Amino acid sequence: MTVRVGIVVFPGSNRDIDAVNALRVAGAEPVILWHESADLEGVAGILLPGGFAYGDYLRAGVIARFSPVMRGVADFAERGGPVLGICNGFQVLAEARLVPGALLRNRGLRFVCRQVTLLPEHLGTPFTRELPDRRPLRMPVAHGEGCYYADEATLDELERDGAVLWRYANPDGSVAGPDDPGNPNGSLRGIAGVRNAAGNVAGLMPHPETAVEEILGSADGLGIIRSLVMSAAEWAATGSITGTRPAHASPAATAAVVGGAA
């Protein structure tokens, strides 16, 4: 049976259809999870898509965190299931304290919508395991509140624990600092995405779900979506996630594992 991955939909979500397509391209069965229910319908992974949940009133993600579905998401995460938040989904996870840090207004105080370059920081995680190497990835951003912030002690802890998963990069491949052209929002230390302490919940501001096919302008995001799908398949089969893809695993083997998940 194909692994089932839930897509949480709030009033104002607008990247849910992109997420449906991305999961299908990655070999999963997408399952829509409406915000009014805490029932996750037995999915093996969860994706919180982009958009403007509840209109982003008060602050991006702050109302959505109180939705009934987030009780189910928090319980799922506590049990070790893989959860990925993209853009507004990242903001919701941060407001729910499921990932560290906060997303503030962009440094330029304007909505930013453009292609960026993303550097994977670590490969052996549930959300990067299907990336073949640490080469730069091209995908879009589209947000007004994407400036990653945490105090210096927390930032040092994230660095020490390997919890920074992606950073923005300049055209020359260097990490983009808050004022560099490759950093679209002023994020501290160029941080584009992080994970929680347990490693099973992650968020990022760029949109891998809209970069899964060359016809969309880039397929660089597919490895991130496939990583979520593979981790969901592993969690469904074993109740745990190693986050490590065997060195000998071929694309055919990857497809077999996803398709064979319970």
Q: What is the pLDDT of residue 59?
A: 84
d(CA 230, CA 225): 9
Among 64, 250, 236, 82, residue whose Cα is nearest residue 165: 82
Fold of 4-259: Rossmann fold (3.40.50)
Annotated active-site positions, please? Answer: 87, 207, 209
- pTM for the model stands at 0.91
Q: Which residues pair with 195 in a beta bridge?
A: 202
The 10s digit of each residue's pLDDT in 105-153 is 999 999 999 999 999 999 999 999 999 999 999 999 999 999 999 999 9
Among 71, 48, 18, residue whose Cα is nearest residue 228: 48
Q: What is the pLDDT of residue 228?
A: 98
d(CA 137, CA 153): 29
Q: What is the pLDDT of residue 61?
A: 87
Burial class (CB in 10 A: 0-12, 13-18, 19+), 178: middle
- Pairing of β 137-143 and β 83-86: unpaired
